[in-house]
Each structure stands twice: as structure tokens, then as C-alpha cells.
Amino acid sequence: MAVKFLSEEWAKEVTDTLRAHEDFKASADMSVQFVVSDAPDGEVKFYLDATSDEPVQSLGELANADVTITSNFETTSAIFSGELNTQMAFMTGKIKVNGNMAKLMTQQVALGHWTSAVSALDVDF
């Protein structure tokens, strides 16, 4: 059964999947705050905290995130569904990134593992 994108159930499914993915856990050491404008229920904030052995993706705000990524719902959905490459979204101005860009760049392998880990989730975008 599909989980609704940007819902509590979706965040829990992602968390469970990342915790079971050894390659992601071994490579990730970052925290990212996401801000999504114009989602169906208004602005949505969620975060990924992979600074410990138990990564968490959750709705809400994370104090002192390494990086904050802001985009609209259409762009966010396209990125998380695999239809749009994050680097292309950045280069074309579809996402805004603030914070520790160097840390984000060093985490490209981890982000690839994140994509691989969550690609099999049944998500209703």
C-alpha cells in the first residue's frame, strides 16, 4: 500500500529503510533540512538526520542542520520520485541550498545510497 509523500507514514518508511541500509549508514554523516513550498497542505518542513548510527527522516524542523534545501512541491516531488536529478535542479535554480555546501559535496556517495535505499518504496506523489 502506497504511503502519501510528505506524510508521517512516508517519513517513518524512509527512516526504517535507511536504518536497514548498511551502505547508507556507513557513508552518511550529515543533517539536511528541507522546506517545501506550495505542497497540497501548505508549506511542509522535513529533515534527514544521519549524524548517528540511527538515521531519522521526520516531518518538522531540525535545529542546526548542516544544509537547508528549499524548493516547491513540483520540484521536490520530481526529485524524490527519481524524475529529476538533484544537481540539475540546483543548476537550473529549482532548488536553493543554504549552509555547509562543502559538507553536502562530501556526502554525494551517501546521497546516492539514500536514493538507492528509498527507490523501492511505494509512494503516492
Q: If DSSP states are collapsed to H, E and C, what string results for 20-51?
A: CCHHHHHHCCCEEEEEEEEECCEEEEEEEECC
Predicted confidence at residue 8, as pLDDT, reads 97
pTM: 0.93
Run of H or E residues at 106: helix 101-106
Nine cell digits for residue 21: 541500509
Asked if 28 and 55 touch (Cβ cutoff 8 Å), the reply is yes
Instruction: Indicate the Cα dihedral angle 16, 6, 105, 84, nearest 10°.
Output: 110
- Spatial distance between the Cα atoms of 37 and 42, rounded to a whole number of angstroms: 7
Task: Report all structural domains of the chain as residue ranges with CATH numbers, in order of start.
Answer: 3-108 (3.30.1050.10)
pLDDT value at residue 109: 93
Q: Which pLDDT score is estimated for 85?
A: 87
Chunked mean pLDDT (size 10), the chain, 125 residues = 96 97 96 97 97 96 97 96 90 96 94 90 96
Chain centre to alpha carbon of residue 60: 13
Give the closest residue to 31 by CA, choosing from 71, 75, 61. Answer: 61
